[in-house]
């Protein structure tokens, strides 16, 4: 297999194009800017090909727009998704905050789309260095109302592509928006990779607003109910869907947990550091393993519950924020093990040795 070498942000674009993305709408921001730049490059190269009478490389990718703001971008995504197209936007933390109203509306209208958040330091304008402080915003709902995004947390450049492709499949399958949640390191890092094999699934969208056509009644999409009964029905439908996703789409990686007494858990870049630290601790004879959630919603509560029920009594949580992810770990652990938090924030990723030290303190 041929080995590639590219930036995380470029891998997102490559994954999206292979998944048949039809429209991209965005506004640049560090450290996510290479996503819009790469989309622009690919889009205009295809238009040049057409001018020369050649076939475009990505015939489905027909709309690229640098919008006037993040708010405009998310609303353009709403329109494109309502028309039944595979569409996406990308930004970084402050830009994602601006998109929240649109994200809530998109979730309400059950419109499939992919939103990429290459997290930087917050709150406010914060910094451009990597953090994971948008965890709550992504998995607990950053906009108003009861809703859920399908959230993937890649930890390599290869997964930046793979998870983007998976998100296009799953968001269409469940008619629900999804988010790729990666820290700044993953966007900016270049890494050796192999292109993942993800079969592209296509779903009929009979609900899409595509004009009357042969229909007897015009399709409309709305989520405003002035009386309770239809609202109750609509929300029941959402709840049923969320339960189905929770039952079917949990993904995680478990590493060296079989005989482990101590568990380290992390997502994104810290999970790579933690994995290397687990190897270092194993060399010292410490029985330690790693659980890395791949989907942050639905969250893999069960693997934590199972592990602490039978063998593990100490859990170390490593995250690039004050302690957000740790709350979901605690929900999974249900008080059956000691949970210790190792938070790093401000843009510094802990070293393998530092995580090893924290493991040793627990051992």
Partner 1 sequence: MKTEIIIAGFGGQGVLFLGDLIAYAAVKEGRYVTWVPSYGPESRGGTCNCQVIYADRPIGSPAIAQPDILIVFNKPSLEKFLPRLKRGGVLFYDNFLVKERPEREGVKIIGVPAFQLSKMGNMAMLGAFLAVTKEISPETIYQILEEKLKGPKAKFIPINKKAIEDGMKYIQKQGDQDATN
Structure tokens at 277: 């630290």
Nearer to partner 1, 246 or 357 (CB): 357
Nearer to partner 1, 108 or 320 (CB): 320
Q: In the bound complex, what is the minimum distance in angstroms from residue 37's beta carbon to partner 1?
A: 13
Q: In the bound complex, what is the minimum distance in angstroms from residue 209's beta carbon to partner 1?
A: 40
Q: In the bound complex, what is the minimum distance in angstroms from residue 4's beta carbon to partner 1?
A: 8
Neighbouring C-beta atoms of residue 361, cutoff 10 Å: 11
Q: Is residue 102 within 8 Å of residue 145, measured between CB atoms?
A: no
Residue numbers of the site for partner 1 (CB under 8 A)? 3-5, 30-31, 128, 184-185, 188-192, 269, 272-273, 275-277, 279, 349, 351-353
Q: In the bound complex, what is the minimum distance in angstroms from residue 30's beta carbon to partner 1?
A: 6
Q: Which residues pair with 181 in a beta bridge?
A: 117
Annotate 117-161 with DSSP letters as a single string: EEEBS-STT--SSB--TTHHHHHTTSSSSS---EEE---SHHHHH
Q: In the bound complex, what is the minimum distance in angstroms from residue 189's beta carbon to partner 1?
A: 5
Nearer to partner 1, 131 or 172 (CB): 131
Nearer to partner 1, 141 or 268 (CB): 268
Nearer to partner 1, 2 or 220 (CB): 2
DSSP-based three-state secondary structure for 71: helix
Neighbouring C-beta atoms of residue 233, cutoff 10 Å: 10
Report the distance separating Cα 183 and Cα 38, nearest Å: 19
Nearer to partner 1, 239 or 348 (CB): 348
Q: In the bound complex, what is the minimum distance in angstroms from residue 350's beta carbon to partner 1?
A: 8
Nearer to partner 1, 82 or 277 (CB): 277
Taking the mean position of all CA atoms in its chain, how far away is CA 48? Answer: 32
Q: In the bound complex, what is the minimum distance in angstroms from residue 249's beta carbon to partner 1?
A: 26
Which candidate, 308, 303, 295, places its Cα nearest to that of 246?
Answer: 295
Report the distance separating Cα 79 and Cα 74, nearest Å: 9
Q: 26-49 burial string, b = 16+ CB within 10 Å, else e?
A: bbbbebbbbbbbbbbebbeebeee
């Amino acid at each position: 297999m041929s080995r590639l070498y590219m930036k995380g942000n470029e891998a997102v674009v490559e994954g999206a194009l292979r998944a048949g993305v039809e429209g991209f709408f965005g506004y640049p921001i560090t450290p996510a800017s290479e996503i819009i730049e790469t989309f622009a490059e690919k889009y205009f190269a295809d238009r040049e090909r057409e001018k020369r009478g050649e076939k475009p490389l990505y015939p489905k990718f027909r709309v690229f727009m640098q919008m006037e703001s993040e708010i405009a971008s998310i609303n353009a995504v709403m329109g494109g998704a309502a028309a039944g197209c595979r569409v996406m936007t990308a930004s970084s933390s402050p830009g994602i905050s601006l998109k929240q109203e649109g994200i809530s509306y998109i979730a309400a209208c059950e419109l499939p789309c992919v939103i990429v958040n290459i997290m930087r330091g917050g709150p406010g304008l914060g910094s451009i260095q990597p953090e994971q402080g948008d965890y709550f915003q992504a998995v607990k709902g950053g906009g108003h109302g009861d809703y859920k995004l399908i959230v993937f947390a890649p930890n390599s450049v290869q997964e930046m592509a793979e998870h983007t492709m998976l998100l296009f499949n799953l968001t269409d399958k469940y008619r629900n928006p999804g988010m790729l949640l990666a820290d700044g390191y993953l966007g900016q890092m270049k890494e050796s990779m192999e292109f993942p094999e993800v079969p592209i699934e296509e779903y009929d969208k009979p609900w899409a607003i595509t004009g009357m056509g042969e229909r007897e009644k015009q399709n409309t999409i709305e989520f405003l109910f002035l009386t309770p009964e239809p609202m109750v029905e609509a929300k029941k439908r959402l709840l049923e869907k969320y339960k189905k996703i929770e039952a079917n789409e949990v993904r995680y990686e478990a590493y060296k947990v079989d005989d482990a007494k101590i568990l380290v858990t992390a997502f994104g870049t810290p999970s790579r550091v933690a994995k290397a630290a687990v190897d270092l601790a194993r060399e010292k004879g410490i029985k330690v393993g790693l659980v890395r959630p791949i989907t942050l919603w639905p969250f893999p509560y069960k693997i934590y519950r199972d592990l602490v029920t039978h063998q593990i009594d100490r859990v170390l949580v490593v995250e690039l924020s004050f302690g957000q992810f740790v709350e979901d770990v605690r929900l999974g652990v249900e008080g059956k093990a000691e949970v210790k938090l190792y938070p790093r924030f401000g843009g510094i990723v802990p070293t393998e040795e530092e995580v090893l030290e924290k493991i040793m303190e627990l051992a």
